[in-house]
Chain A
Amino acid sequence: MKKKIIIGLSIFSLIFLLAGIYIITTIETATAKLDNLITLHQVEILREHLLINIKRVQSDLNLKSTRFARSIDTVILNVRNMEKMADKCFECHHSEDVLERLSELRNDIDKYKDALSRVFTIRANTGRLKAEEDSAFRTGENLITKVNNMISIASSKLEKKTQSALGNIADTKTVLYILLAIGPPLAAGIAFIFMRGFTRQVNVLLEATRSLKEGNLDYRIEGLKDEFEEVAASFNNMAASLKEQMYKMQRTEQMVVLGELAAGLAHEIKNPLTGIKLSMEVLSEKTFTSEEDREFILKIIDEIKRIDSLIKSLLKFARPPKPNLAVSDLNEILNDTVTFSLKHPSLSSKTSTSINVLKHFDKSLPELMADPMQLQQVFLNLLLNAIDTMQDGGTLFVKTSYDAGENTVQIEISDTGKGIDENAIDKIFQPFFTTKPKGTGLGLAITKRLIEQHGGAISAENNPGGGATFKISLPVKKEGKNL
């Protein structure tokens, strides 16, 4: 979005800059053309003044021998003015061609001056005087014709230039009007599109927050772009996290209720159950009890023991004992538990011997603050499960390692057994979920709770070559710190 805003503003600025440059350039060009036109008109006026001056001198010549003759001082003044006007033509910049014509004109003026001077100074007979006057007059007339021609040519060119310049100015004016007409709507349109793009995404975010507020933790934002996409991703993560926390809270509440329920049940069921069990034991030892009945009574006693065990597990899960922290050597605990598990009474001797155990303990593993008994219970549970899946033998792989970056200890317990059903892999840590015919469904749930009580985490995954791996991560806590 930031990039879009910068690009948008840059484009906006560029458009305004270009429009500004265009307007300034066109105004400058138009002004220059007008200046040029004014100069050309001034030149035109100059030429016309020159023509007037020549005609005035010519008039002086015509009046020379009449009673209207002007004084020689006036004639000299008029001739000098004519000369000055001609010299002014040279002050402008001209092309070589024009300069040549002007030089020719200047020479003609000099000739005219000489002829005039001669007319005013010569003293001769009438014929000669008339010839000189005629000669000067003709020179003057030629000069007038030349200047007239120049004026005519220049006027024609000037007219064309004026029309061209006025046409250009009209075009410029039209373009400026168009710019003026489309500029503001264009700017408003761009601003509207830009703002709509911005506000639409903000509205989506607002809608999402409202939805979240109403308790829809499954609401997810999609389709946003740029920085809004990042905000949406954060929002989605937040919603997922909230949902998870909510779930945990619900679970915690459920556990509290379950604990209370379990405690009540244990109290209410255990005592009568103990009575029933004792009664059954007594009954089974009576002589009047037939062998057939005794067998039934023993089965009842076993089931009572199972119910008792279930109640104990339920109590353990609902009200897990607080970890009794001590400096623990994880490698040692794990190693002992592996050894113990292979000798566990629940396993047949055949199974124990057919299991190949591989240990890969990190010797630099730091000691950590943990409850050794609870960890032993966790490891034993996982190890027995692993061994249980390898009834026909297999390899048990146990590994510890240290992640310095996270400052955690990693424990992996792998087997080469049947693995976990893909549909069940997300549910195995849920209480009362079991795939075993006689399982309580509380083993992995208790394991998870014990690990979480240590601030750690547990996960499970199937191995690509078969079997499953359980990974435990435990934080290395300093002595004295509470969990």
Chain B
Amino acid sequence: MVKVFILICVIIISGCSKQETTSPDETTPSTIDTTLVIGLIPERNIFNQIERYEPITGYVAEKTGVNIKLKVLTRYGNIIDNFVSAGLDGAFFGSFTYTLAHAKLGVEVLARPQYIDGTSTYHGLIFVRRDSGIKTVKEMKGKIFAFVDKATTAGYLVPLFYFKEHGIDNYRTYFKETYFTGTHQDAIYDVLNKKADIGAAKNTVYRRLADVDKRITKELVILEEFLDVPENGLAVRKDLDVSIKNNLKEALLNMHNDPAGKSALRDFGAEKFIETTDNDYANVYKYTKEINLDLATYDYINE
């Protein structure tokens, strides 16, 4: 019995030793004791976000040999704080949070998903209940407006552009009440459920919810649509190891060519990841410029 135990130990030890001496040239990535913390913005129900992104990050972790830990944030703006305080290495940024993080922290965008319908962008919407009778900005006066977050393009930036375009200098006094739902989904449902009169959210979430809840198409009406901006893409801190950065980018951009990657993409609901650069956020920069918003000094904390 003791001999068998010793033999098993020898086999295990020799097996471990062999693993440690694996050549770096081998295609299978060596286990690097590196853990990346990737943040997720509360685009949807925060309790579903990890489940949604796990197939993608799981695949990338396997391909790159880097451990990836997901961290769900309850606010869009938290990403900016967490990069510093919680030590995030990267995040799936919304378009506005990316431009903020890029301006404040210098994060570098790597890739963003292209969905099965071929879109890789979204745009902001302003909508009301069909039975509310609101059709113009004038009719919005004294009503309740539901934003998403101060650090979202569709949920805050474009409504500000909209207000400015329509001569509303101070929305806080123009409306009876404004608040931040935290997610695009809640902004849509708050209007649908008459918690708010007017809402702002991204069209992709609106469409996805409309597909499963027919009340949205039937009872809501879109008053305004804005310019396309890039979908939530992965951006990493500027001082991240270049090789890791490249590996991450390569894994994401090529995953649609790999059956395992394809399966992960299918679970995520995307066709593939496409390369993304700062130039792709031109429309976001345009909106910030239009409303004279200084990204470097912008206070993204919700009121």
Contact = CB atoms under 8 A, between A and B. Distances in A.
Contact of A123 (B51, B73, B302): B302
Interface string B63-91: 00000000111110000000000000000
Interface in A62-121: 72-73, 76, 79-80, 83, 113-114, 116-118, 120-121
Contacts of B230: none
A120 B75 CA distance: 9
Interface in A99-153: 113-114, 116-118, 120-125, 128
B182 A73 contact: no
Given A118-B182, A128-B179, A123 B45 contact: no
Contacts of B50: 76, 80
A123 B47 contact: no
Nearest to A127: B177
Nearest to B42: A121
Given A76-B50, A79-B47, A120 B179 contact: no
Contacts of A128: 177, 179
A73 B45 contact: no
Contacts of B303: 123
B197 interface: no
Q: Which 3 A-B pairs have the closest CB atoms?
A: A121-B182, A124-B179, A123-B302
B25 to A, nearest CB: 38
Nearest to B182: A121
Nearest to B146: A124
8 contacts: A72-B73, A73-B72, A80-B50, A83-B47, A121-B75, A123-B179, A123-B180, A124-B180
Contact of B74 (A79, A80, A83, A120): A120
B121 interface: no
Given A72-B72, A73-B71, A123-B75, A80 B182 contact: no
B156 to A, nearest CB: 11
A123 B146 CA distance: 10
Interface residues of B, number: 22
A interface SS class: helix
B183 interface: yes
Nearest to B150: A123
Nearest to A116: B47
Interface in B249-303: 302-303
A124 B183 CA distance: 13
A437 B78 CA distance: 156
Q: Which of B47, B149, B182 has the most CB of A within 10 A?
A: B47
Nearest to B147: A123
Contacts of B179: 122-125, 128
B145 to A, nearest CB: 11
Interface of B: 42, 45-48, 50-51, 71-75, 149, 177, 179-183, 186, 302-303
Contacts, number: 62
Given A73-B72, A122-B186, 12 more contacts: A76-B50, A80-B47, A113-B48, A117-B45, A118-B181, A118-B183, A120-B74, A121-B182, A121-B186, A122-B180, A123-B180, A128-B177
A285 to B, nearest CB: 137
A125 B46 contact: no
B71 A117 contact: no
A117 B183 contact: yes
Given A73-B71, A76-B72, A121 B47 contact: no
Contacts of B74: 72, 120-121
Contacts of B47: 76, 79-80, 83, 113, 116-117
Q: Which of A80, A83, A114, A122 has the most CB of B within 10 A?
A: A122
Contacts of B72: 72-73, 76
A123 B149 contact: yes
A114 B149 CA distance: 17
A83 B50 CA distance: 13
A2 B179 CA distance: 102
Given A73-B71, A76-B50, A80-B50, A122 B45 contact: no
A128 B195 CA distance: 9
Nearest to A120: B74
A79 B72 CA distance: 13
B215 to A, nearest CB: 15
A117 B177 contact: no
Contacts of B183: 117-118, 121
Q: Which of B51, B74, B180, B302 has the most CB of A within 10 A?
A: B74
B182 to A, nearest CB: 2
Contacts of B177: 125, 128
A79 B46 CA distance: 10
Given A79-B47, A113-B45, A123-B75, A118 B302 contact: no
Contacts of B186: 117-118, 121-122
A122 B182 contact: yes
A72 B75 CA distance: 11
A125 B73 CA distance: 21
Q: Which of A79, A83, A124, A128 has the most CB of B within 10 A?
A: A124
Contacts of A117: 42, 45-47, 182-183, 186
A53 B51 CA distance: 19
Contacts of B149: 121, 123
A121 B302 CA distance: 11
Contacts of B182: 117-118, 120-123
A465 B149 CA distance: 140
Contacts of A123: 75, 149, 179-180, 182, 302-303
A244 B51 CA distance: 110
A122 B181 contact: yes
Contacts of A122: 179-182, 186
Contacts of A72: 46, 72-74
A113 B49 CA distance: 12
Q: Which of A80, A116, A128 has the most CB of B within 10 A?
A: A128
Contacts of B180: 122-124
Contact of A114 (B42, B45, B75): B45
A317 to B, nearest CB: 102
